[in-house]
Each structure stands twice: as C-alpha cells, then as structure tokens.
A and B are shown apart, each in its own frame.
Chain A
Amino acid sequence: MRVEDFDMFATLLKQRSGLVLTKDKAYLLESRLMPVARKWNMKGLDELASTVRTRKDEALLRDITEAMTTNESSFFRDQKPFDQFKQIVLPRLLETRAAKRSIRIWSAACSSGQEAYSLSMLLNEDAAKVAGWRIEIVGTDISAEMVERSKSGIYTQFEVQRGLPIQMLVKHFKQQGDKWQIGPNLRQMVSFKEWNLLGDLGGLGQFDVVFCRNVLIYFDQPTKTKVLEAIARQMPPDGVLYLGGAETVLGITDRFKPVDGQRGLYTLSSGPGFNTAGARAAAF
C-alpha cells in the first residue's frame, strides 16, 4: 500500500472512530480492507483508496470503519472482572439501589455482545435476589453489523467455546444446526444500539456500571480523555467503571480513581467512593 493511501485511511479512521492506526498495522489495514474492496467490486486497495478520495460515499466509509473496528471477543473475557462483579459490585448495587429496584449496565464497544450476555447469565444466577427489579443491560457498538449480530444472540460453535462453561451453554443456549442461540429470557434483559463513543452519549441515559474494557487502547491520549470524561457524565456519583487490565486513567483524566485492591475497577473521584458498608461486609 502506498504511504499516502495509508495516511488517508488512517485519517479517515481516526475521524470516524477514534482508532489510531500506526504504521506497523499496515498489514491489518490491508487484510481487513480487501473484503471491503471485493464487496464493492473493486480490483484492490488502490481503487478503494481513489474511490474514497473522489466520492465520499457514506455507505462505503461506514464499511471501511466497521471492517477496521470489529474485534474478537469471548464470553467471560478475563474471568476476574466477572467474579468481581458478582462478589462486590452486584451486592453493593442490591444494597444502594434497594429503594429504586433498578440497575442499568452499559457494555461500551460491545462487539458481538458476549460481555453483555455474560452479565445477563451472572444476573440470572442471582435471579431470586433481583426478582421484581428492573435490570437493563445495554450494549453499544460503532458497527451496525456487530449490533445486528449481538441482537440475534447467535454464535458459532467456536465462539460458544471461548470462555463459556459447558454447564452455561446447556442451561442458556438452544442449538440451531451448527450454531447456538442464547435463550429469550436472557435476551430480554439485554438491548443493543449502534452508537459512536466519540459522539454525544447523552441519549443513552445514566448507567450504574460501565464496562469499557480494551477500547481505550485503540485511541490516542486526547481521545481517551474525551471518551472517559463523556462516560463520567453518564454515571451517577456512586457509579463504577471497568477498564481492561492493560488500561489506566493515570495521566488521562482525574474524573476517575481506582478502587483499592480491585484491579480494573474505578469510581468517580467526586463521588462517595466504593467503601459502602455492604462492600466492606463482602470484602471481609
């Protein structure tokens, strides 16, 4: 690929998705954009690049962005955050939201929906405790294709073996030929929306818990700050944020602070922090 074409695609992706594409990712650009070129009946990436330059076709630009921003995912990815959710985050919510009896959880940049559905499975295990509560899990992704896939709840044999214990597969999924579909009672807890994290997040409403794991790693510093501060505005003072294991708020924003001894978990700096009586009781 020519340098000027690479730069053009990199600029386009940065503008539309915040994705920062470094030169060492040229191979990724080529392998992901070839199928887009084929879909649009183009001979190759040269033609794709010149088409983007001369004709700003929204559908084409969208296809290019989606091809570059879809990432692999698995159920219960990294496991630990989900143990944390079950052991300390959910008990605290059950206590602090007892009057309202409502919990809203956001899976930001949800890809094909595994994180959102993993949370629905955990909440289902505690069904007795949340009976009569309004539980809402919202997954958002920049990719329309990923949002559609997430909504369907249909996964390949390969995907249902990534992180999903066999007991949970048997309990929650129905087999459809060589695919598996998550059951309707879990699907009704979860909704999916096409949403750009760089856009206005106001329309999404407030979330008690936000999962934004392994998303910031694709952004440059100013974009990370912008996204984290926008997320902070969608959280109540005692809301919690999950970041990926390799991510930090240090030097990016002072709106969040880490929760002591709970890797990957953050609260708002201006809020009451995490140490409610319930959380202390659960910790001891």
Chain B
Amino acid sequence: MKSCLVVDDSRVVRKVARKILEELSFACTEAEDGRQAMEACARAMPDAILLDWNMPVMTGIEFLRRLRKMSGGDAPKVVFCTTENDLAHIQEALSAGANEYIMKPFDSDIIQTKFQQIGLL
C-alpha cells in the first residue's frame, strides 16, 4: 500500500482529501503546516504528498524547497492542492520541484487523474 501525507491547515480539507485518497488505497497521515510535514518526512518519507500553499508556521512552497534538499527528499511525488490559481504560482511550484498542481476546489476525479498521470496509481 502506498502512503500519502496530506498537508493542509484546514481540518475539513484534510478530512475530504483523506477520504478520497483512502478510497484510492493510500495509507494517509496528516500535517497541519509545513513544519509538521518536515517532521513527518524526517520520520518516514511518504510516496506522495498532497500539499496546501498558504499555511501558518511554514508555507507549502517553503516546505517543498526544504524537502527537496533533505536526504531522500527527492523521492516523494508532490501534488500542490491550493486556492492559488494563477500561472505565476503554478510555475513557481513546478520550478521548486512539484510534480502536479491542483487548483481548489477539487473532486475525487481530479485527484485520481492527477495521481494517475504522475504514476502513483
């Protein structure tokens, strides 16, 4: 079973995303901000990370840049999932090492096809 870390400061979004991912047979863990996500990745690198952008303590983009410098941090497939929906943000995310990008609101179809495209399903 593949693992996915869901990083979002909204409990509701984490719950919805978790339900969708569990239906796609992912084992999910959660983090409320970038810092917590760093700690989770230091313990065990997940196969996939669903990542919000705007969060307190540490943003998603800052987390991603740090992750890609960590030992083993190039392995997880990172899918941004954010309300930031302009080209500039998308390009910034891709150049920081994101594999895919979801603009909220999302549904299970979008998560499923995006995860398929980057070879997680």
Any chain B CB within 8 A of the CB of A79?
yes
Q: Is the interface of B mostly helix, strand, loop or mixed?
A: helix
Q: Do residues A165 and B85 form an inter-chain contact, with CB atoms below 8 A?
A: no
Q: Do residues B103 and A161 form an inter-chain contact, with CB atoms below 8 A?
A: yes
Q: Do residues B90 and A157 form an inter-chain contact, with CB atoms below 8 A?
A: no
Any chain B CB within 8 A of the CB of A38?
no
A binding-site residues for B, Cβ under 8 Å: 74, 79, 157-158, 161-163, 165-167, 169-170, 175, 178
Q: Do residues A166 and B85 form an inter-chain contact, with CB atoms below 8 A?
A: no
Among B86, B90, B106, B109, the residue within 8 A (CB) of A166 is B90
Q: Do residues B113 and A163 form an inter-chain contact, with CB atoms below 8 A?
A: yes
Query: Which B residues are CB-close (under 8 A) to A158?
Result: 110
Closest residue of chain A to B109 (Cβ to Cβ) is A162
Determine which residue in B86, B91, B106, B117 has the highest number of CB atoms from chain A within 10 A of its CB, and name it: B117
Query: Which A residues are CB-close (under 8 A) to B90?
Result: 166, 169-170
User: Given A74-B113, A161-B102, A170-B91, 11 other A-B contacts at CB below 8 A?
Assistant: A79-B116, A161-B110, A161-B114, A163-B113, A165-B117, A166-B94, A166-B100, A167-B94, A170-B87, A170-B94, A178-B85
Any chain A CB within 8 A of the CB of B26?
no
Chain B residues 64 to 104 lying within 8 A of chain A, measured CB to CB, are 85-87, 90-91, 94, 100-103
Among A157, A165, A175, the residue within 8 A (CB) of B100 is A165
Query: Which A residues are CB-close (under 8 A) to B109?
Result: 162
Query: Which A residues are CB-close (under 8 A) to B116?
Result: 79
Query: Which A residues are CB-close (under 8 A) to B117?
Result: 165
The minimal Cβ–Cβ distance linking B120 to chain A, given in whole angstroms, is: 13
Q: Do residues B113 and A162 form an inter-chain contact, with CB atoms below 8 A?
A: yes
Closest residue of chain B to A167 (Cβ to Cβ) is B94
Query: Which B residues are CB-close (under 8 A) to A163?
Result: 113
Query: Which B residues are CB-close (under 8 A) to A166?
Result: 90, 94, 100-101, 114
Cα distance A169–B109 in the bound complex, in angstroms: 17
Query: Which B residues are CB-close (under 8 A) to A165?
Result: 100, 117
> 28 A-B Cβ contacts within 8 A?
A74-B113, A79-B116, A157-B85, A157-B103, A158-B110, A161-B103, A161-B106, A161-B110, A161-B114, A162-B109, A162-B110, A162-B113, A163-B113, A165-B100, A165-B117, A166-B90, A166-B94, A166-B100, A166-B114, A167-B94, A169-B90, A170-B87, A170-B90, A170-B91, A170-B94, A175-B86, A175-B87, A178-B85
Nearest 10 pairs between A and B by C-beta? A166-B101, A161-B110, A165-B117, A175-B87, A166-B100, A157-B103, A163-B113, A170-B90, A157-B85, A170-B91
